[in-house]
Amino acid sequence: MGAQVPLVDYLVLKPEPHLIAHECTQCGARFFDRRNACASCENDEFKEVSIATNGIVKAYTIVSMAAPGVPVPFVAAVVDCDGTSVRGNLIDVEPDDQHVQLGMKVELATTSVGVDSEGTEAVGFGFRPIA
């Protein structure tokens, strides 16, 4: 297998997979996308911080309709990772109300999104239940 590249800028693959956020140095608000100014206080200075890899499902929906080629159903969730809200899909779990619950404990997991003709693998992330 060739190189691996993260699907999103805020996913770090090595040494251990984790997410990073831009934290406002004035108010502590965290953002995953690039910012010119903080949406909470308008400060323009940020520092990178690592996000906890374990969390708790705070909200979810079972998606039954998606763009062509996207397999359904799947579970889209908001996960509280030690105070930082992260949006991501739940993986390695049946997409129904018997297997997914508010408050369930989950951990960050990576998943292959595809491999190009040169063998470079795109890697995404999701959250899987902690047994």
> Which one is predicted more confidently, 130 or 131?
130
For 20-47, what is the mean pLDDT?
96
> pLDDT at residue 25 above 90?
yes
Q: How far apart are CA 37 and CA 64, in angstroms?
A: 36
Instruction: State the chain's maximal CA–CA distance in angstroms.
Output: 45
Within 10 A of 19 (CB to CB), how many other CB atoms are there? 21
The phi and psi torsions of 69 (rounded to 5 degrees) equal 90, -10
pTM for the full predicted model: 0.91
Q: Evaluate whether 29 touches 38 at the Cβ level (below 8 Å).
A: yes
Tokens 């502590």, located at residue: 28
| pLDDT higher than 60, residue 1 | no
Supply the pLDDT for residue 128. Answer: 97
**Chain segment 44-95, per-residue pLDDT in tens:** 999 999 999 999 999 999 999 999 988 999 999 999 999 999 999 999 999 9
Residues 6+ away with beta carbon under 8 Å from 55: 79, 80, 81, 82, 86, 105, 106, 107, 108, 127
Predicted confidence band of residue 131 (pLDDT cuts 50, 70, 90)? confident
Radius of gyration over alpha carbons of the chain, in Å?
16
